[in-house]
Copies of this chain bind each other. A is one copy, B any other.
Amino acid sequence: MALIFVTGNHHKFKEASEIAIQHGIEIEHRNIPYVEIQADKLEDVIRLGIQQACALLNGPCFAEDSGLFIQAFKGFPGPYSNFVFRTLGNDGILKLMVDETNRRAEFKSAVGYCEPGLKPKVFTGGVEGNITLEARGTLGFGFDPIFVPTGEDGRTFAEMPAGEKNKLSHRARAIEAFFRWFKQRKTVDR
């Protein structure tokens, strides 16, 4: 039986699918709208979200929430990255960063898993990097064109093919952590 990934974002589903294949896990896409709360931590947002999605589906499922946390702006846009991308976009972030010397940022991801009778489990992943001076690349989605991960060759996430981004990304790390737990658990932590 395929494991259900609850998301309205087909980019996220595609990224997760490629990781799932490597783990021999079959995943299925479902777009079930669940409520996201306003909270500074992604973990808090996803914990409540996956609990609801699980109740609606009445079956095991996982979901993911991610955000770009810019150090000079105390974590903005953080958990509201989706809204900020829709309203300000990459251009807005670059405008805010004009003359800003501290360009450090972290992409964070939280994956929530729940099944009936189980307390939600949350797995996190992060990747540190810098905000570019201009947007570069057309791959990926969201803030990918303005984020360069630390320790790599200076390309943005939007300049990396999916397979490469999946070796580094916050989302890949959180999903990997979840898949490893999912495959290995023998007893359910109720």
Chain A residues proximal to chain B, CB less than 8 Å: 35-38, 40, 45, 48, 73-76, 78-80, 83-84, 86-88, 92, 95-96, 98
Contact = CB atoms under 8 A, between A and B. Distances in A.
A171 B87 CA distance: 24
Question: Which secondary structure characterizes the binding site on chain A?
Answer: helix
A75 B95 contact: no
Contact of A92 (B37, B78, B83, B96): B96
A9 B75 CA distance: 22
Contact of A87 (B35, B36, B38, B76): B76
A98 B95 contact: yes
B88 A73 contact: yes
The 4 closest A-B pairs by CB, nearest first: A76-B87, A36-B38, A74-B87, A80-B80
A87 to B, nearest CB: 4
A148 B62 CA distance: 46
Contacts of A75: 87
Contacts of A76: 83-84, 87-88, 92
Contacts of A38: 35-38, 45, 79-80, 83
29 contacts: A35-B37, A35-B38, A36-B37, A36-B38, A37-B37, A37-B38, A38-B45, A38-B79, A38-B80, A38-B83, A40-B83, A73-B87, A73-B88, A73-B92, A74-B86, A74-B87, A76-B83, A76-B87, A76-B88, A76-B92, A78-B83, A80-B80, A80-B83, A88-B96, A92-B96, A95-B95, A95-B96, A95-B98, A96-B96
A113 to B, nearest CB: 21
A104 to B, nearest CB: 15
Contacts of A40: 83
